Amino acid sequence: MPGNLSTPGASVTSRVFALLGAFDAEHRSMPVSVLARRAGVPLATAHRLVTELVALGGLERRGDEYVIGRRLWDLGLLAPVQAELRHVAAPFLQDLFAAAHATVHLAERAGHEVLYLDRLSGRADVPVLSRVGGRLPLHATGVGKVLLAHAPADVRRAVLADLPRLTPYTLTRPALLAEQLERVRRDGFARTVDEMSVGACSVAVPVRRRGEVVAALGLVLPDLRRGHASPVAALTVAAAGIGRSLSAQ
């Protein structure tokens, strides 16, 4: 929890950052009373600052609770790492979309979740829950499994300890998921079938920069019954191109 900033000498800027810092993977939506308590900001001050943040797009109100606003996401994309990755990947995503006619995802790991950096939307009849700037669980998505497979051991342990069931087909047994992650590292790709949403399958591969996995590239398809060699091959070629371009920067 952020430090207490209820002292009179705390600046407005420090209090705003304390309120924003109160959000994390476990606290993505909160009423102002919880925000104030977690930030250590007086409730009256929190009400005033939250109202201003909503007006400026820094926060969004959903019922009686508040979430991080799109304006902060837009600013975050200007950070050198994300901006460079999206810029470099853009032509490869376009080529992949033109070839596959399916939803294309570019994502990175943010703590214990997938953060979607870019998305090109495919068939409307395939249910896709992602959105640019949105987050989903690592264990139930193709890009998430790739990122989880290459995450530090402590991250893998934490995620494996809490595997919520999102559909009847979500893999929630830690031992089985651990085996699957080993195969992802060995085979170089991950796939899911109806694990995030029924009617959607996904295939994903890692994006490497000088050998380090920095992102994942994925496709969402209606099914994998025709085999997955072709989408894996197309993804691998695109991911390799992104990686070469990143490494040349």
Cα angle 120, 126, 229 (rounded to 5 degrees) comes to: 75
Q: What is the predicted pLDDT for the residue at 229?
A: 52
Residues 90 and 62 in one domain: no
Q: What is the predicted pLDDT for the residue at 39?
A: 93
Q: What is the predicted pLDDT for the residue at 83?
A: 73
User: pLDDT for 207-249, tens place per residue?
Assistant: 999 999 999 999 998 887 654 457 999 999 999 999 999 988 7
Structure-token pair, residue 60:
């969004």
CB 201 within 8 A of CB 222: yes
Q: What is the predicted pLDDT for the residue at 228?
A: 47
Residues 157 and 121 in one domain: yes
Residues 25 and 88 in one domain: no
- The number of folded domains in the chain is 2
Q: What is the predicted pLDDT for the residue at 3?
A: 45
User: pLDDT for 157-168, tens place per residue?
Assistant: 999 999 999 999
Residues 117 and 220 in one domain: yes
Q: Residue 126: pLDDT band by 50, 70, 90 thresholds?
A: confident
**Residue 28: Cβ within 10 Å count:** 13
What type of residue sits at position 57?
Answer: G
* Mean pLDDT within 84-111: 92
Identify whether 242 is part of a domain: yes
Identify whether 220 is part of a domain: yes
Length of the chain: 249
Q: What is the CATH number of the domain that holds 193?
A: 3.30.450.40
Q: What is the predicted pLDDT for the residue at 96?
A: 94
Residues 110 and 56 in one domain: no
Identify whether 1 is part of a domain: no
Output the average pLDDT for the chain: 88
Domain that holds residue 90: 77-247
Encode burial over 162-199: b for 16+ CB neighbours within 10 A, e otherwise: ebeebeeebbeebeebeebbeebeeeebbbbbbbbbee
Residues 43 and 141 in one domain: no
Structure-token pair, residue 68:
């991080």
The DSSP 8-state label assigned to residue 140 in this structure reads G
Q: What is the predicted pLDDT for the residue at 30?
A: 93
CB 128 within 8 A of CB 103: yes
Residues 185 and 83 in one domain: yes
Q: Residue 2: pLDDT band by 50, 70, 90 thresholds?
A: very low
pTM of the entire predicted model: 0.72
User: pLDDT for 36-94, tens place per residue?
Assistant: 999 999 999 999 999 999 999 999 999 999 998 888 877 776 666 677 888 899 999 99
